[in-house]
Amino acid sequence: MQVKICGITNLEDALCAAQNGVAAVGFIFHRPSPRFINPQKVAEITDKLPARLVKVGVFVNEKESFVRRTFERCRLDMIQLHGDESPGYCRQFPRNRILKALVLQTEEDVRKSEAFDVAAILVDARHNGLYGGTGRTADWDLARKIAGPLILSGGLNEFNVPAALEVVRPAALDINSGAEEKPGKKDSAKIARMMRIIHSASAGETPLNIFIGRDRT
């Protein structure tokens, strides 16, 4: 199963993720986030990462021009839209490059997700106005009803990941606060333990490759 570690703010944590078999790392360009990182620093980090590690930029309600400019400047592979972006906004970008984050509160939210023509839907949780990284779990019962490829996020950690995999059966996982010492600093031991748990729980399954490099179509 593919795993993305989000909220990367330094080279050490990104390399740790790569060494533990993580498929992708996420860089958050949303200033209110405690894990915000500026594009210049991301460009310096991505230049030193292995090509197989997919680099994802996380944007919240940004102008399309800023997203495109940052995508190229930082040599990103994929774009994660984590705000209130519409299906029309998402269609400005290549489908296989876009991950759309949604919060599911009702069955109607599940139905609305079908309007997004993207590589995958990422289900997360919000709290106190924050667009993610809150440590709150998403609604697993609603998440499992997403029709297309699903990335499960929201409060995942080494203790609840096995249950999440069993209940939701997502195509991929997105882990942020559950792999940290503190906001913006990952815990290498937690990453290693979680990856062992995930590999054990998903052994024998054929992974769906959602996270792809920029040179792949």
Q: Of the listed 6, 16, 74, 90, which one is catalytic?
A: 6
- Tokens representing 1 are 């199963």
- Is 74 assigned a catalytic role? no
Contact predicate 140/168, CB 8 Å: yes
Catalytic: which of 77, 124, 139, 174? 124
Q: Specify the 3-state DSSP secondary structure of 111.
A: helix
Is residue 117 part of the annotated active site? The answer reads no
Query: For residues 51, 171, 22 and 119, what is the CA-based torsion angle, rounded to 10 degrees?
Result: 30
Distance CA 175, CA 137 (A): 11
100/98 Cα distance (integer angstroms): 6
Q: In one letter, which amino acid is 30?
A: H
Task: Indicate the helix (H) or strand (E) that contains 172.
Answer: strand 172-175
Catalytic residues: 6, 124
